[in-house]
């Protein structure tokens, strides 16, 4: 059985780059099948320590795939290679 990729966006409130990346990921859902989750790093001290200077961070199946910016074409290619 093939499972859908799990895409996670690590974000924080008030981050304009985070909003830009979220727009790309939401739009990508109409072009590729994947499960999407979002986590506010400021709600979890461990995530804040891990990603504080890097948000937004996107992981695919638990592996860091992008930070700061995401291009739709690059995201779809990375997703297809997973």
Q: Looking at the whole model, is its pTM more than 0.85? A: yes
Q: What architecture is domain 6-81?
A: 3-Layer(aba) Sandwich (3.40)
Dihedral over alpha carbons 62, 63, 67, 71 (to 10 degrees): -100
* Cα dihedral 4, 44, 14, 67 sign: negative
**In the chain, where the domains are located:** 6-81
pLDDT in tens, 18-32: 999 999 999 999 999
pLDDT in tens, 24-79: 999 999 999 999 999 999 999 999 999 999 999 999 999 999 999 999 999 999 99
């Amino acid at each position: 059985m093939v499972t859908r990729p799990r895409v996670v966006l690590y974000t924080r409130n008030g981050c304009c780059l985070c909003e830009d990346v979220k727009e790309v990921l939401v739009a990508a859902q109409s072009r590729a099948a994947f499960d999407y989750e979002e986590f506010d790093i400021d709600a979890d001290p461990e995530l804040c320590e891990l990603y504080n200077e890097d948000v937004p961070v996107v992981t695919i199946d638990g592996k860091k795939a992008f930070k700061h910016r995401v291009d739709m074409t690059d995201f779809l290619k990375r997703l297809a290679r997973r």
